[in-house]
Amino acid sequence: MPYSIPITTMGPVARRTVDRMGQGRVAAVFDRSFYIEYGDEFVCIGVPALIPGPLTASADVPSGMNWASSGIRIDARVSGVDGVLSVGDRFRFHTRSAQQWSLPPFPGSASGAVPMDAMLSGVRAMAPTDGLAPLLFWGAETGAMSPVVNTALPAHRRLSDWLRQVAAGVDVSPPAESACRLLGLGPGLTPSGDDYLGGVMIALHAFGCRQEVERLYAIIDREAPRRTNRISAAHLAAAREGWGAAPLHDMLNRLGTETGPPLPSLIQDVDRIGHTSGWDALTGILTAVQAWSPAACESSRAA
């Protein structure tokens, strides 16, 4: 007899995928979550503490549930009928009553209510040396940088220049070579460069720069099949729509309002996203936010 498990919360992409799912497969299995694949779309099913995001679905299971030892296997058959996801022969996930996680609207301007210096100071105090977070401080005394950061730095500089031009109202195409240099860069299920690009698109979407998002995503979509994996590409497609993990939006929204949770608490939530995925995406977001500072905009207009 299969285990019957309610899904309590779903992201918007997960809901959309499940509602039209026919036959799919298990694409990846980890201790706290697993991915199911349907066409080009993915759903990440996990434990109740799974961080909300566009692709996630939280299952009502014990907090110590280990999916890797539960009997779920890669390539196991998945079928969706009438709000029920059947995964192999052991599990039935019921999605009809799941609440949909959705984004709060961005409350302020791109220039922000929280001073950027204060944000960067808090980030620098807690940022890891792994991943791409050191890019935020490359002009300061940062010490030796990792090979991944050294590879990303020229692309980061060119994308920063492009973002400053966009913020100043200049109609210019994104640097394709730089986007390609970042795409697939770094280890992990979602490489650091992919997370960075996703963060840039999330910020641009919040700032209302939809045309620039589409231009950047066109490059990503063209190059993704040969530069990154399909799950990471699905997260990038969600970022194109302005969606990322909840703590990233909490940080971005904190920049746009006078009130909210203290920055150290928000940064700790970002730190919980993957190994460095949260930090890498936050680096992309803050790179875009920096471009919208008044000084950066004036410099780009003068150029």
pLDDT of residue 137: 85
Query: 263-271 and 116-126 helices cross at what angle (nearest 10)?
Result: 50
Instruction: Tell me what pLDDT residue 210 has.
Output: 95
Which two structure tokens, joined as six digits, stand for 132?
């791409």
> Taking all residues of the chain, what is their mean pLDDT, rounded to a whole number?
89
Q: What confidence tier does 114 reach under pLDDT thresholds 50, 70, 90?
A: low
Which pLDDT tens digit goes with each residue over 255-278? 766 667 888 899 999 999 999 999
Comparing 264 with 199, the larger pLDDT belongs to 199
Mean pLDDT of the 150-158 span: 95
Say what the pLDDT of residue 300 is: 43
Question: Exposed/middle/buried for 115, CB within 10 Å: 0-12, 13-18, 19+?
Answer: exposed
- pLDDT at site 144: 64
Length of the chain, in residues: 303
Return the minimum-mean-pLDDT range out of 113-122, 167-176, 190-199, 257-266: 113-122
pLDDT value of residue 127: 86
Q: Is the pLDDT of residue 82 over 70?
A: yes
The structure tokens 């909210």 sit at 260
- What number is the average pLDDT over the span 197-213? 96
State the pLDDT at residue 110.
57
Stretch 68-89: mean pLDDT: 93
Give me the pLDDT at residue 119, please: 75
Residues 6+ apart with CB under 8 A from 231: 27, 28, 35, 42, 189, 190
State the pLDDT at residue 96: 93
Dump pLDDT digits (tens) for 27-72. 999 999 999 999 999 999 999 999 999 999 999 999 899 999 999 9
How high is the pLDDT of residue 294?
A: 57
- Residue 121 pLDDT > 90: no
In this structure, of 155-169, 210-224, 258-272, the range with the lowest mean pLDDT score is 258-272
**3 token code pair:** 């285990």
Mean pLDDT score, 85-103:
93
DSSP structure class, residue 273: S
Q: Output the six-digit token pair for 112.
A: 């922000």
